[in-house]
Amino acid sequence: MQPMPVLAQIKAQARSAPTPAWEKGILPISAESYWNAVECGKQGGADPPCVFWDTGLCKNEDFALALYTPYKMVAYEVWRVVRQKQPPPTPSYQEAQQTRITIGVTPVRGSKNPFRDLVLKRGARVVVPVDRSLDGSGGGRFTFDYPAFAATGDITLDLVGKAKTISCLIEKAVLTQLR
């Protein structure tokens, strides 16, 4: 498959999630981040920024991204149950420890640029996912180990479509906000 030239360059933006504050980036789950995620999930509401911090991360007209991390696994499970007016659960710490970082890509309604691939780069080096799958609905899932998202420098996500590639720069300052 021949990569399409980059025709769109965007900069990532994370949603502000002031409670609880976070500036460490995506890390393996720890006692601190686990309990922060539980507290986040208890906030409830329709769209809490601490649970859905990745909404609109690389906003563009063709593809939507969703990140799944250990923090999000815990926060989402608590939020889902609390939203149903049930007591907050205690999600599995062991399961969270085994969770890697997955990027889900789905086509935006009305997009005319079918999705083909996702390429993550740190500088000029391509980081190969540990698992990848494309689905029949025009999207895919790409799983990475933690070093791919370390808040030590900028990364670039190339969203490769049939008609064009959209390149999203995620600066170090944004990476530190991700959970």
Spatial separation of the C-alpha atoms in residues 73 and 52, rounded to whole Å: 11
Residue 73 lies inside a defined structural domain of this protein: yes
Residue 26 lies inside a defined structural domain of this protein: yes
Assigned token pair, 124: 């000029």
Residue 160 lies inside a defined structural domain of this protein: yes
Query: Which residue range forms the structural domain that includes residue 146?
Result: 6-175
Residue 89 lies inside a defined structural domain of this protein: yes
Spatial separation of the C-alpha atoms in residues 70 and 90, rounded to whole Å: 14
Residue 19 lies inside a defined structural domain of this protein: yes
Residue recorded with tokens 């007209």: 61
Q: pLDDT of 36-60, one tens digit each?
A: 999 999 987 888 888 998 889 999 9
Give the percent of the chain with pLDDT over 70.
93
Query: Into how many domains does the chain fold?
Result: 1
Cβ(172)–Cβ(151) under 8 Å? yes
Spatial separation of the C-alpha atoms in residues 59 and 154, rounded to whole Å: 17
Q: How far is CA 106 from CA 74, 118, 137, 154, in A?
A: 23, 11, 8, 23
Residue 116 lies inside a defined structural domain of this protein: yes
Chain centroid to CA 83: 22
Instruction: Indicate whether this model's pTM tops 0.85.
Output: yes
Structure confidence at residue 2 (pLDDT): 52
Spatial separation of the C-alpha atoms in residues 20 and 36, rounded to whole Å: 6
Residue 1 lies inside a defined structural domain of this protein: no
